[in-house]
Structure 1
Amino acid sequence: MTPHYHKLALASALLLALTACKEEVKPVEEIRPVRYTIAGAGQQSHLRQFSGEVRARQESRLGFRVAGKVVEKRVSSGDSVKKGQVLAVLDASDYQLDSQAKQAQLAAAQANLAQQAADLKRYRELLAQNFISAAQVERQHTAVQSAQASVQQAQAALSASRNQAGYTSLIADSDGSVSEISIEPGQVVAAGQIVARVAAAGEREVLIQVPENAVGELRQASSFNVKWWAGQQAIPATLRELSGDADPATRTYAARLKLSGQPDGLRLGMTATVEASLPGQHSAAIKLPLSAILDEQGKHYVWVINPKTAKVGRKAVSVGRPDSQGIDITAGLNGGEQVVTAGVHLLRDGQRVTLLAK
């Protein structure tokens, strides 16, 4: 092959390569699958939820009426008790000694009264014989009255001392179960110190803690429904009591709800969810999941799907307060639009999407 033909072949190869480079490569359009919801369709919620626990209608916080050292603990937390049953006992030796001293004082007072009464009888006999004056008899009569008062005083002191000795036993004031007992043998307790809590048998309630911004809503609720985390059937309830003062530690208000029935297997301390229906508190705002909101530079947007072109467009919205059901859209949507609810940070204006099942 001559150099001329060699150059001609090389030029032809270069021409073909350049022609191939000029062919346009069409990019493949990215179509992203998205989940969506219809704005305003069943998104509004009229329920307010609170967490609570099952408590007894009546709960007694018990403590000894006298101070002393614990010598016996007869029950534990969770035990069933009967009215009048002894829960714990203090060392009563000092109170028993005091009762013995008061008993001796009563005996001395009674002996003195008997002596004064006998003297009064003799004085009256002597007065009848004109051996003494009437004034002496009157003074002896006063001495008898004083002796009688001393006997009454000694009797009262003995009764009080015996009561003190009886207070060394902690007694259950009703049938129920021991929710808590916080003493052990050897411990010294003060008079009035709370050492046990007994939940009375019978009616059960649900106790919830209400934040201060929900107290007004709770009072206006038309109905309550209690659901159990342990799987029992949900039952209606009514508001029985709402505290007028906030707890100093949690700054919440305690509320008690009376159950319309007592389901089988209901136990103290079980966790429940209380749903309060709030009529007249419906908001005109559209409710969307929090995942549908795109935040950029302090502004809020949502992606709205054009049903004709299957493309998304970003739309600025105004939002209200979030809750467990989502967030309120107060402006920017008219309702009925298809709004993307997941992956909002991965979309761009005009991007084509496919709709996944809601």
Structure 2
Amino acid sequence: MTPHYRTLALASLTLLALAGCKQEVQPVEEIRPVRYVVAGSDAAGDSRLFSGEIRARHESQLAFRVAGKVLERRVNAGDSVKKGQLLAVLDGSDYQLDTSAKLAQLAAAQADQAQQEADLKRYRELLTQNFISAAQVERQQTTVNAARAKSQQAQAALVASRNQGNYTALLADSDGVISSISAEPGMVVSAGQAVARLAASGEREVAFQVPENAVAAVRGASGFKVKLWADGRELDARLRELAADADSATRTYAARLTLNRSDDSVRLGMTASVRAQLAGHDGSALRLPLAAMLDTQGKHYVWVINAQSKVGRKAVEVGAIDGSSIAITRGLSAGEKVVTAGVHLLRDGQRVSLLQQ
């Protein structure tokens, strides 16, 4: 065998060996992650969930009743205060000067009144001696009345000036906690400008926002459950207030729940989840999110996840639609896991992975 053919033979043997070592490529099974709900659970639509915050029943926006420059701030956000406690102070030098001026005006008015009353006394003595007429006495009496009125006016102006001076001190109007304060030394504020917020002690509530498509459901809810994020406690509550007009920025409606029982461990600002139990649902019907429905050729289906984490299409009969949920009247059993997202991307027998709820 010539060297050329020997080389070709060796190359052929090498290629055959490599081909034999090559393993057959197996197709990789696609596993699609899905979200799901358990049929018959609260998440399936017989309730609505909202995020809320623990707030005080009574909250006051505190402001100075006069304008001025802030001299000092006596409290910080989060401080507990008592009724009448000093929170902040304005520069009151201008009001002190005004009070001094009003005092001088009152003294002048009182001196003029005393002089006019003394003149009236002499006029009456002269009248008894027939040195003056009765008309002169009457004119003097009118002058005395005017002097008395000026004294009363000056007295009232002095009281108002002293009140203005007292308003340079911002006081707490009830026991509670300072939830926020913006007054800082050197800051110039106008009369009525809110500089602090006081959450009064006592009753606690849950504040949350309701989207417009859930207003009717919340208003007609049969009950409310409030779950505290901090410790997982669940408390009963009742609806106290639901705004009639939407917020101009968020386009949601502000709502307030009163906690039926609470203690000092329910602190202001705590996060809570609010569950509104919807009223008027058919107890024999299960409810699912609308996103779980697959409509094909006029029929309704859902994807059910079995114990092997595979999905199968299941025909169902539907009932009334309420907001974002739909009633399932036949074809589904309570406790079955139903896919709620990506229903158009699945196929029968496909393996899925369950995302956390």
Confirm or deny a common fold (TM above 0.5).
yes
* Contact 1:54 1:204 survives alignment (8 Å): yes
CA pair 321-223 structure 1, distance change in 2 beyond 3 A:
closer
Q: What does residue 135 of structure 1 align with?
A: 135
Distance 2:68 2:150 in 1: 30
CA pair 304-160 structure 1, distance change in 2 beyond 3 A:
closer
* Contact 1:35 1:340 survives alignment (8 Å): no
* Contact 1:183 1:195 survives alignment (8 Å): yes
Q: What does residue 48 of structure 1 align with?
A: 48
Q: What does residue 86 of structure 1 align with?
A: 86
* Contact 1:304 1:315 survives alignment (8 Å): no
Query: Aligned letter for 2:220?
Result: Q
CA pair 223-143 structure 1, distance change in 2 beyond 3 A:
same
Name stretches of at least 5 consecutive residues in structure 2 with no aligned partner: 1-25
Equivalent in 323, 334, 342 of residue 331 of structure 2:
334
Distance 1:226 1:300 in 2: 35
Query: Aligned letter for 1:219?
Result: R
CA pair 232-202 structure 1, distance change in 2 beyond 3 A:
farther
Q: What does residue 160 of structure 1 align with?
A: 160
Whether 1:250 and 2:250 are equivalent positions in the alignment is yes
CA pair 311-254 structure 1, distance change in 2 beyond 3 A:
closer
* Contact 1:38 1:336 survives alignment (8 Å): no
Distance 1:279 1:75 in 2: 47
User: By how many angstroms is 1:184 displaced?
Assistant: 0.6
User: By how many angstroms is 1:287 displaced?
Assistant: 2.2
Q: What does residue 5 of structure 1 align with?
A: none
Distance 1:200 1:83 in 2: 10
Distance 1:268 1:252 in 2: 22
Superposed CA offset, 1:288-341 (max 9, x none)? 796x67799xx996557999xx99568799997895xxx64879x733597774
What secondary structure, in the 3-state scheme, does the structure 1 residue paired with 2:248 have? coil
Query: Aligned letter for 2:123?
Result: Y
User: By how many angstroms is 1:352 displaced?
Assistant: 9.0
Query: Aligned letter for 1:222?
Result: S
Q: What does residue 111 of structure 1 align with?
A: 111
Distance 2:150 2:60 in 1: 39
User: By how many angstroms is 1:222 displaced?
Assistant: 1.0
Query: Aligned letter for 1:101?
Result: A
Q: What does residue 124 of structure 2 align with?
A: 124
CA pair 346-199 structure 1, distance change in 2 beyond 3 A:
closer
Q: What does residue 10 of structure 1 align with?
A: none
Q: What does residue 15 of structure 1 align with?
A: none
CA pair 190-31 structure 1, distance change in 2 beyond 3 A:
closer
Greater CA deviation, 195-204 or 256-265? 256-265
Distance 1:108 1:202 in 2: 52
Greater CA deviation, 124-133 or 279-288? 279-288
Q: What does residue 62 of structure 1 align with?
A: 62
Distance 2:258 2:305 in 1: 48
Q: What RMSD, in angstroms, separates the aligned Cα atoms of the two structures?
A: 4.0
Q: What does residue 214 of structure 2 align with?
A: 214
Distance 2:111 2:306 in 1: 109
* Contact 1:46 1:282 survives alignment (8 Å): no
User: By how many angstroms is 1:52 displaced?
Assistant: 0.7
Q: What does residue 12 of structure 2 align with?
A: none
Using the aligned pairs only, state the percent identity.
59
User: By how many angstroms is 1:241 displaced?
Assistant: 1.3
Distance 1:36 1:95 in 2: 67
Greater CA deviation, 263-272 or 201-210? 263-272
Distance 1:352 1:55 in 2: 48
Distance 2:337 2:206 in 1: 39
Larger Rg: 1
Query: Aligned letter for 1:237?
Result: A
Q: What does residue 288 of structure 2 align with?
A: 287
TM-score by length of 1: 0.76
Query: Aligned letter for 1:262?
Result: S
CA pair 352-84 structure 1, distance change in 2 beyond 3 A:
closer
* Contact 1:233 1:263 survives alignment (8 Å): no
